[in-house]
Chains A and B, each alone.
Chain A
Amino acid sequence: MILEPEIFKIEEVIPESTQAKSFIFRGRIDYQPGQFIMVWVPRLDEKPFSISYHGEDFFGITVALKGRFTQRLHQVKKGDSLGIRGPFGQAFNLQACSEHNESNGPTCVVGGGIGMASLAVLIERLKMSALGGSASGGPVIVQGARTESELLYRTRFKDMMLYTEDGSAGRRGLVTDPLEDMQWRHGFKALYTCGPEGMMVKVFEFARRNRIPLQASLERYIKCAIGLCGQCSCNGLRLCIDGPVVNAETLATLEDFGRFARLRNSQRVTIEEYLKGCA
């Protein structure tokens, strides 16, 4: 299952937002939040996704509509099968703490857009363990999206702070807006983030200023997923195997973070160009 895809049947399709659907598979997979799997549609392609639902005998992914591959995934129905390889990569460390930071405050999870998918199981685990907890229980969750219809998991996690760019739900603004004030009030123990890289740069700067341990899940174009082909190199870090989750100390060494990424032919371009689509 690491080196060759295994076929899983889709047991349920959950519409999550105008942009995203979740697909639930029956089966057991040994998974730590932050890792990813490679999803294979025979004769089309195979691409990386986080596991966004995980239990004893089921797991699921949440897929945002982007281009050719995700369009095809969105047509997949209950009963259809997909190939799955993995899980791969470094997971979030739930015990994150640092010598600089003796805070007893809550952990904080900051998600933007589809980045919430790779944070969902982490949030569940933080809620379950004493680690994520503040006195009121569980991590502080801040989710941002462009607009209300793109927000994810609103019934799954009822206690999220929501931010939309157009103000259609929650507060108008960016997820990073409340961080300084919340830090002043709570004193965060640790930060976890996944989302658009520009957003993560802001979270990173905030974490550095306040000396809060941070882990971020990055995205780069992934091919082999086993650390050989060199495609996902980000300043020498192989995202697929040394990442996708990296801590603030590592982020500080990545010149390309927030600035450059590589197309599938390895050409280094600005993040903006990369996001225009590279298939």
Chain B
Amino acid sequence: MARVDLSTELCGIRLSNPTVLASGILGTTKSLLKRVSSAGAGAVTIKSLSLDPLPGHNNPIMVGFEAGAAGTMQGGCAAGFLNAVGYSNPGVKEAVKEFKDLSDVGAPVIASVIGRGVGDFMKVVEGLWGLDFSAIELSLSCPHTPGFGMMAGQNTPEATKEIITAVRTMTRLPLFVKLSPNVPEIGRIAKAAEEAGADGITAVNTLGPGMVINIEARQPVLDFKVGGVSGPALRPIAVRCVYDIYKAVSIPIIGVGGVSTGRHAIEMLMAGASAVGIGTAVYYQGIGVFQEVCREMEEWMTANGYPSIKELVGAVHN
């Protein structure tokens, strides 16, 4: 059989393969984006940018939780992670220096944008005018940063609509909105985003928040006490969210949450995603995870007679 074609398209952006570096993992600097792109990612997303610099929460900002018996959490055994990075970022003005020339990154770069309110979102997007980003992703869904995302009530259909409507007037680039899984009906929010002019949906951000307590110290491990769940434990929820969103809208979806193998990626595509975000799996498999996932997809697609990605997207709905 002929070699399978892993390329995919997101709102007119051509990706050589469906893997996308998720926001907040390694996306702080252009050199890291370049490294991830050379490691095989089809597209990369920068760490979310706010209008003003944010120092983020104090450490620990991340903690893993075990899958099996106590003491077995070495290496690959963690069921998932909590993170409460707290959106540390240098603010849009500094970021413009960092990301001024993206032409040599080697893959499309998506700008992730956050704001305390509509005005912030508009100003940050305006601040990025003239740069080589391929798309903008508005993150309305962080569960652990006061003033932003869930903690600012941005994960409702009404707030989503208001923010998208305003930002839509500020950019010619494809506009994605990143949703939280912590809502009763994610399809409704996706629909609101589509109606307000969003070109695509990224789903999902981290789940929760959750808490891990160190029982000897009698304290939550994260300095912010709570953090969003990512990694394996998030995957079935992310898949269900993508499934629901696919039913609700006709714009493309980047499915994110717990993906670390080719099989996981295919599952996400079948649920309805056109591309697949990868974050926490960089811990389990290193930066090589992008290439590895692609290789596994290729193998599976070859063995099972799928010549290209489009035969997979939304396959469970047929």
Interface residues of A (CB under 8 A from B): 1-7, 38, 40, 42-47, 81, 83, 85, 223-224, 226-231, 233, 235-236, 238, 262-268
Contact = CB atoms under 8 A, between A and B. Distances in A.
A7 B218 CA distance: 11
| Interface range on chain B (Cβ under 8 Å from partner) | 35 or more
Contact of B31 (A1, A45, A236): A236
A265 B90 contact: yes
A44 B58 contact: yes
A260 B223 CA distance: 28
Contacts of A81: 216-217
B53 A228 contact: no
Given A42-B217, A265-B89, A230 B55 contact: no
Contact of B28 (A3, A85, A227, A230): A230
B221 interface: yes
Q: Which of B27, B34, B223 has the most CB of A within 10 A?
A: B223
Question: Main secondary structure on chain A at its contact with chain B?
Answer: loop
Contact of A46 (B31, B47, B223, B286): B223
Contacts, number: 137
B59 A265 contact: no
A7 B217 contact: yes
Interface of B: 24-29, 31-32, 34-35, 47, 53-56, 58-65, 73-75, 78, 81, 83, 85, 88-91, 94, 97-98, 212, 214, 216-217, 219, 221, 223, 279-280, 282-283, 286
A236 B83 CA distance: 22
Contacts of B34: 236
A5 B214 CA distance: 8
B32 A236 contact: yes
A134 to B, nearest CB: 39
Contact of B214 (A4, A224, A238): A4
25 contacts: A2-B73, A3-B64, A4-B63, A5-B217, A5-B221, A7-B214, A40-B221, A42-B219, A43-B223, A45-B59, A46-B59, A46-B60, A81-B217, A223-B62, A224-B85, A226-B283, A229-B28, A229-B62, A229-B83, A230-B24, A230-B47, A231-B88, A262-B29, A266-B88, A268-B29
Contact of A229 (B24, B214, B219): B24
A133 to B, nearest CB: 35
Given A7-B217, A40-B60, A236-B32, A45 B280 contact: no
